[in-house]
A and B are shown apart, each in its own frame.
Chain A
Amino acid sequence: MGSGTIDSIFGPTRNPWKYDNENWNITGGSSGGSAVAVTTGSCVAAIGSDTGGSTRNPAALCGIVGLKPTYGLVSRHGLIPLVNSMDVPGILTRNVEDAAIILNVISGPDDLDSTTLKQDMKPVELRDIDMSKVTIGIPKEYHCPGMSEEVIETWKYVTDLLETEKCSVKSVSLPHTSVSIAVYSILNQCEVASNMARYDGIEYGLRTGETYSTEELYASTRLKGFNNVVRSRILAGNYFLLTRNYDKYFIKALKLRRLISDDFKNVFNGVDKVDLLLTPITLMDAPSYNDFSMKNNRDQCAFQDYCTQPANMAGIPAVSIPIRLSKNGLPLSLQLMGPALSEDLMLNVAKKIESIVKFPTLDGVE
């Protein structure tokens, strides 16, 4: 959990860009390991789970493609759950074409996941598309405090580039964006509290030697097995789910989630509808480990997930595309989002952007 990949049992994961033993940057997370494996060429593609941006965030900071498919398009059977209603198996690859190939293989109905869509999706097909027929929306709420100049410039650069390609580009509004991160945090903690209940040391996993009572065994096992981040989410989640708090927090969060989802429906369906949205994905390039570890996990998430988690709240597809290198020589990426099951158009436009920006590969730089 978290957007750093610095808390895992084997120590922090290092960003392969500008790597040196003294000074290094984080990979982003939580699927930072998958992103490193793909970036370095250890594998062609990797799967990561995307609950609030965990595939797209490390992909963006490591300079690869990170695809979060529509909720229900890819089976979650076998995926370790974090937030069941938002989790999607994400795809990390070095280019859009590989992502499309993997998606076509892993998508489709699965009897073992009752939340998968019942019909097969038409496979994604990459082709030369007529960009003049595509309308791109630029949601103004994604200009958020703390966003670096470089990210804003990159955003502007691709916006101009799409206009040059004859896309119609317009400013749109997703008014509930700013509350999304708080709502996400409540729902996340509730489902985490529930999903982590099974790690009690009885059936599998760590079990301490405590023999005084079953309750003591649970307490000591869970104290030892979970780090602070997980424990604080469990505590908060259980608090929100108490009968006396349920309506005040959980139900309210669900209502706001509906409004956030409706924001997207409105821009994708209204009179002034757009086909896709173009937004930043992180607020800056990969932070250095030293800077990042100064803030606590909760604040980092509130900051790092700002642009990514709304797609999970609404269940819509999103893709992170690397654009260019920052002054520091680190990748800067942008995100495309589309309505449910718009993977075909979204990846075709991503492919077009990819072919124009010609982002360097890691070995090409060094």
Chain B
Amino acid sequence: MRFTKLCHCLTVKSTLIIKRGLVSKSSDKWQSVVGLEVHAQLNTESKLFSGAQNTFGGVVNNCVSLFDAAVPGTLPVLNRKCVELGIKTALALSCRVNEVSTFDRKHYFYADLPAGYQITQQRAPLASDGVINFQVFTPGIHKKPYKKSSKIKQIQLEQDSGKSLHDTELKQSLVDLNRAGAPLIELVFEPDLEDGEEAAALVKELVLIVQRLGACTGRMEEGALRVDANVSLRRPGDPLSTRTEIKNIGSIRGVAGAIRHEIERQRMILENGGRIINETRSWDAAEKVTISMRDKEVVQDYRYMPEPNLPPLRVNLKTKEDHHDVLSVPLIQEQIPELPEETRLNLMQQYQLRPDAVIQLVNEPTLLEYFQQLIADKPRNPTKVSNFLLNELLMVLNKRKLDVDDCTITIKQIRELTDMLLQNEINLETGKNILYQLLDLADDDASPLSIVEDKGWKQLTDEKEITKMCIEIVENNPKLVKQYKDGKVKVLKALLGILSKKSQNKINMALASSILEEVLKK
């Protein structure tokens, strides 16, 4: 079963590579242009303008204040924490924080928008003109990482809407207002990207940044970070052409897939002499297609108007003086932690790790944490440690269908295990088996050392014993040995496999390989 799954994965990957090949072939004809708009929910106790709890997964309509239900006579009161987190994110993305920003009403009718308008910052946003730098590297698609950056037009504070649930059978719509009025920042990026992989890498980097800042959980599966992608195609050198917008993409791989398919769809239309219409589309992750959401080609007029109930938001850009309603930006600047790009540089310089290894480590905060802990308390070989985490641990977690963030293995257990590996007390295969054991036990007190002792998994390094086993193998497999002696050297691998199996995977493979070769020569 597992084997077939793995095979399936491999075929998917190979089709990806083929498609990629097609893209680059005709890229001299069409150039794809991608720009993103990202909504990130701010990680605060209460909502943007009300005291209601800001939480995911609460009891339906249980986190709703009178203001969130748009009861007449209620007024918005700006949550200071939201401003702080918005500014923090803006500073981490090298934006210019605006001394004065204002709020606007954006009008449209929707069942989960109780006031009939959303309060946002259309004319004077919280921050403008930033940039995000990131590495593009998807194993299987890119041979090596490359640097990319996208400019940020603006970052604005705004309210989230509620959620509508449609029951098509009963022909009923139900509305949950728990999310109504939750704080969002919208980040508007310039159309600086070329394809879905670059967009996915940008989003991944953004998730890492907001998580480090504590500004947003980054949990895309909960809708805490949602991506809209604007996609268009043009002939190289031409001005930007008509674009389509793919709304609410809910995962990083979804971003890559949706954009790749949308580019493909537009290319087909253009190559058949068709015309792209400006429309909103949604991404169907199961069917791998983008679908038109509105049939009309009418641009909605949101009738923006200044929000009269909120005075302009002022911040202190110059000094560290902090007031109840005037936050100090220099003070927030001081609280910005090390950002992912810096971590990658440090890891490469300090430990001479390969760029792709560094990208993978930083992309998985849990692995990075293991790595840093393992390197900190005593000298261990950084390359070997990182390889073990990125190859064995990741593979075992994938097999168990576990998210890296849900890994239950403690740092103490990882330490013991790595030390046994580095000191050649166990081989890699055993290391993997111990990982399976630790995950299945999910017991903080389980010790890799005692598992090895209990199971008798200590590595077999005794040369005499190995030689004995090798002789036995050679005697029992005359066919393979004949093939080997006839010059088919590859057969050695098969023999080694039998040997490993015979030793219950405990044998030191490097040693076994050289001994077996010796024996075969005789």
Contacts and interface: CB of A to CB of B under 8 A. Distances in A.
Interface of A: 76-81, 83-85, 111-115, 190-191, 193-194, 196-198, 200, 202-204, 211, 214-215, 218, 238, 241-243, 246, 250
Contacts of A211: 171
Interface in B59-77: 69-77
B309 A114 contact: yes
Interface string B291-303: 0000000000101
Contacts of A218: 109
A112 B175 contact: no
B304 A197 contact: no
A211 B173 CA distance: 11
Interface of B: 69-78, 105, 107, 109, 111, 114-117, 171, 173, 175, 301, 303-305, 308-311
Nearest to A238: B303
13 contacts: A79-B73, A83-B308, A84-B308, A112-B75, A112-B77, A114-B309, A115-B308, A115-B309, A194-B107, A194-B116, A197-B117, A202-B175, A238-B303
Given A112-B75, A114-B311, A203-B70, 11 more contacts: A77-B74, A81-B73, A114-B76, A194-B116, A198-B116, A238-B303, A241-B107, A241-B305, A242-B301, A242-B303, A246-B304
Nearest to B69: A203
A114 B78 contact: yes
A115 B309 CA distance: 6
A214 B111 contact: yes
Contacts of B69: 203-204
Contacts, number: 81
B301 A198 contact: no
- A83, A197, A214 pick with most chain B CB within 10 angstroms: A197
A198 B115 contact: yes
Nearest to B310: A114
Interface of A is mostly: loop
Contacts of B301: 242-243
Nearest to A76: B75
A187 B390 CA distance: 62
Given A190-B305, A194-B117, A194-B305, A204 B71 contact: yes
A194 B73 CA distance: 14
A114 B76 CA distance: 8
Contact of B308 (A78, A191, A204, A214): A191
B109 A197 contact: yes
A307 to B, nearest CB: 24
Nearest to B324: A118
B388 to A, nearest CB: 55
* 6 A-B pairs closest in CB distance: A197-B116, A241-B303, A84-B308, A85-B308, A198-B70, A78-B73
A185 to B, nearest CB: 16
B114 A203 contact: yes
Given A114-B309, A198-B116, A80 B304 contact: no
